Amino acid sequence: MIPVRGYEGRRVGVLGLGRSGLAAAHALEEGGAEVLCWDDGAEAREAAARQALTVVDLSKQGALEDLAALIVSPGIPHLYPAPNRVIAAAWDAGVPVDNDIGLFFQSFATEDWARFDVEPRVVAVTGSNGKSTTSALIAHVLEHAQRPVQLAGNIGRGVLDIDPAEDGGVVVLELSSYQTDLARALTPDVAVFTNLSADHLDRHGGMGGYFAAKRRLFAEGGPDRAVVGVDEAEGRYLANQLTHGPSDDRVIRVSSGVKLAGPGWNVFARKGFLAETRKGRQVGAIDLRPVKGLPGAHNHQNACAAYAVCRSLGLAPKVIEQAFSSFAGLPHRSQLVAERDGVAYVNDSKATNAESAAQALQAFKNIRWIAGGLGKEGGIASLAPHLGAVKKAYLIGHSAREFALQLGDTPHEVCETMGQAVARAAEEAEAGDTVLLAPAAASFDQYPDFEKRGEAFMAEVEGV
127 annotated ligand binder: yes
365 annotated ligand binder: no
d(CA 178, CA 158): 14
d(CA 334, CA 247): 36
**Bridge-based pairing state of the strands 281-287 and 273-278:** antiparallel
132 annotated ligand binder: yes
130 annotated ligand binder: yes
326 annotated ligand binder: no
**Between 42-50 and 19-30, two packed helices, what is the crossing angle to 10 degrees?**
30
347 annotated ligand binder: no
Give the chain's end-to-end CA distance (angstroms, integer). Answer: 44
131 annotated ligand binder: yes
Which residues are annotated binding-site positions for ATP?
127-133
Which residues are annotated binding-site positions?
127-133
